Amino acid sequence: MKVLSQNTTFGGMQGVFSHESEACKGEMTFAVFVPPQAINEPRPVLWYLSGLTCTHANVMEKGEYRRMAAELGLIVVCPDTSPRGTDVPDELTNWQMGKGAGFYLDATETPWAEHYQMYSYITEELPAFVSQHFRMDMSRQGIFGHSMGGHGAMTIALKNPGRFKSCSAFAPIVEPSTADWSIGAFEKYLGADRAAWRQYDACALVKDGARFPGFLIDQGKADSFLENGLRPWLFEEAVKGTGIDLTLRMHERYDHSYYFISTFMDDHLRWHAERLI
């Protein structure tokens, strides 16, 4: 593990690190906040997945999570959103595809399949790696994210209910298999057979029988992507009669930015702490 930076903050440590990833066939960067309580005992782990065009740095610099995470004693891990490097396929003029747009799935199509294995990276390789270096209680894990990362958090939770005890999302893409800004990426990563897309679609997973105890979703009503990309009401409809508890909060005047995310970050951290601590 390479240490790229380490800073003391709120009595804990905010670090940025990198390592060689077998899943993504290259160097991957991630951030970890370790609260002061971890000096004495292993602490619960909260995974934050960022959205399209982002890296680990967006939430680390603008998410304003450290004060509350330190108070609650939560370790927060912020992975990158895709593989990086000069040999990694990309579409330079398409922000919805390639670098910064991994969609937290395992690509099966050429040329993407060699590097774009973000589902395996997030669920298998990175947890196994970071747990060797930090005092984490891996029996208490939660996951949350924003936009594409909200999609990733929800699908990963639904597919791994025995691992994660909590899940929440800011403005998630709840049905990427039908959303304008994800259909193109799904077809390139996974092929034309839409049946293969369902394993990475929260609404489809629920319809196909996947279950998770509950979700918290915050969505801004002034979000320019609400009608064509996010559409949280589709997930609200999907979970009816399933026993899945959904808290969906729609907020006047809030948009898709980190001004919105940082406003409700404390609520999400408390939501996870209630289920992890």
Residues carrying an active site annotation: 147, 223, 256
Q: What is the DSSP letter of 199?
A: G
Spell out a b/e string for 55-75, using b for 16 or more CB atoms within 10 Å of the CB, else e: bbebbbeebebbebbbbbbbb
Largest CA distance in the chain: 51
Angle subtended at Cα 199 by Cα 45 and Cα 251, rounded to the nearest 5 degrees:
60
Instruction: List the 26-34 sheet strands across, edge first.
Output: 2-9, 12-21, 26-34, 75-79, 43-49, 136-146, 164-170, 214-220, 245-251
224, two tokens: 């320019």
- Name every residue whose Cβ is closer than 8 Å to that of residue 188 and which is 6 or more positions away in sequence: 97, 109, 112
At position 223, the amino acid (one-letter code) is D
